[in-house]
Amino acid sequence: LWWELNGTPTQPVLTVRPEHKFISRGGSIGRASRDPQRVAAFVVRNVERLVEALNHYHVVCDQLTLSLLFRDAPERAWRVSLLGSTARLEDLRQAALWMLPRAWQPPAAWVNYMHVIAGTLRPDCRRQKSLFEPPRPRQDRLDQLMHEVNESVGRFALRSGATLPLADVHTDPANEYDICDIYGKSCF
């Protein structure tokens, strides 16, 4: 910092943002909870936000990590390698919910923070498909329709039914956006 303040650049100014290595969504779930439905609803909500970010940056992921921080137990995380590169809501939701009971140990622990992290990112134009990936035009159309409605009506106007236990979160306008959800902005 001293060199920079005295006019000697130590690192070049980047004019283009480097490619993402990871994209994550999550954070505090408000009050700590050990209610399985509420915690699962937060997992799904964070996956919805993650898919929104993956689509914004036009990337897909090969790995997904679920990290849980507890009030009364050590942090635990679980990572899976996906069958193929994806940014599909249904694929990532199923993977995250599969990891939830494996990461939530002991099951009576109070969850207060969580992160859903997409790793091994690649541009969606270089997406590696799985040999076992069935075509899902109907699901793709539903995902596109959900995106269009949310763009025109408001964020989370349409969302997964699994997030219904979060009525208090969705009715509070303070929970609409985190700084990472406002594209073009960054935080330190």
* pLDDT given at position 179: 61
Q: What whole-number distance in Å separates Cα of residue 106 and Cα of residue 78?
A: 14
pLDDT at residue 171 in the model: 72
**pLDDT band (50, 70, 90) for residue 11:** confident
- 78: Cα separation from own chain's centroid: 14
Number of domains into which the chain is organized: 1
Residue 164 falls inside a structural domain: no
CB-based contact 59:119 (threshold 8 Å): no
> How many CB atoms lie under 10 A from the CB of residue 43?
26
Of the pLDDT bands very low, low, confident and very high (cuts 50, 70, 90), residue 32 is very high
Q: And the tokens for 63?
A: 């790995």
Residue 175 lies in a domain: no
Residue 138: the pLDDT is 85
> Is pLDDT above 80 for 152?
yes
pTM score, whole prediction: 0.81
Of the chain, the percentage scoring pLDDT greater than 90 comes to 46
Kindly tell me if the per-residue pLDDT of 180 is higher than 70. no
46: amino acid identity, one letter: N
pLDDT tens across 72-122, in order?
Answer: 999 999 999 998 899 999 999 999 999 999 999 998 999 999 999 999 999
- Confidence band of 71 (pLDDT split at 50, 70, 90): very high
Distance, CA of 99 to CA of 52 (rounded, Å): 20
Give the domain range for residue 84: 17-125+139-157
Instruction: Give start and end residues of each alpha helix (H) in the chain.
Output: 2-5, 36-57, 89-103, 137-153, 167-170
pLDDT at 178: 65
d(CA 48, CA 101): 19
C-alpha 138/C-alpha 156 separation (Å) is 21
Task: Confirm if 59 and 23 have CB atoms less than 8 A apart.
Answer: yes
pLDDT at position 144 is 82
Distance in angstroms (rounded) separating the CA atoms of residues 91 and 93: 6
Alpha carbon 115 to chain centroid distance?
7
The answer to whether the beta carbons of residues 71 and 31 sit under 8 Å apart is: no
* Rounded Cα–Cα distance for residues 17 and 88 (Å): 25
Q: What share of the chain is helix, strand, coil (3-state, %, to 5)?
A: 40, 25, 35
- Predicted local confidence at residue 187, as pLDDT: 56
Q: Quick check: is 112 in a domain?
A: yes
Residue at 147 is within a domain: yes
Higher pLDDT, 167 or 39: 39
CATH number at residue 145: 3.30.1490.100
Residue 1 lies in a domain: no
More reliable by pLDDT, 132 or 158: 132
Rounded Cα distance, 49 and 54, in Å: 9
What does the pLDDT read at residue 176? 67
